Amino acid sequence: MTKSAAIDAAAHGVRVNSVHPGTVASPMSNAILAADTQNSAATRIPMGRVGVPEDIAYPVLFLASDDSRYMTGTELVVDGGETAV
């Protein structure tokens, strides 16, 4: 969907990118997931921990900025390597 929308929107000067976050500790996830469940998830992540909101926010800020002005159709995976294994 990201790539298709990027192709359609490019002629209008609109960039379309998406962010695919991995496991992130947040107030909501902390309320529904026990600490041992989050610790178990961390063992499956090559970087050895679950993410924090800032781990997702900074890549989103980059994509929203002019620093990514020549990027469109990008699907940015921000998961500590979780989907690489």
pLDDT in tens, 14-28: 999 999 999 999 888
Work out the average pLDDT over 7-18: 98
21: in domain: yes
Domain coverage including residue 30 = 2-79
On whether the CB atoms of residues 79 and 44 are closer than 8 A, the answer is: no
Q: How far apart are CA 27 and CA 75, in angstroms?
A: 26
84: in domain: no
| pTM of the entire predicted model | 0.85
44: in domain: yes
pLDDT at 69 over 90: yes
Work out the average pLDDT over 61-85: 97
Q: How many domains does the chain have?
A: 1
Helices and strands (H and E) in the chain: how many: 4, 2
Question: 8 or 41: which carries more pLDDT confidence?
Answer: 8
Look at the block and give the residue holding tokens 């990008």: 74
CATH number of the domain encompassing residue 45: 3.40.50.720
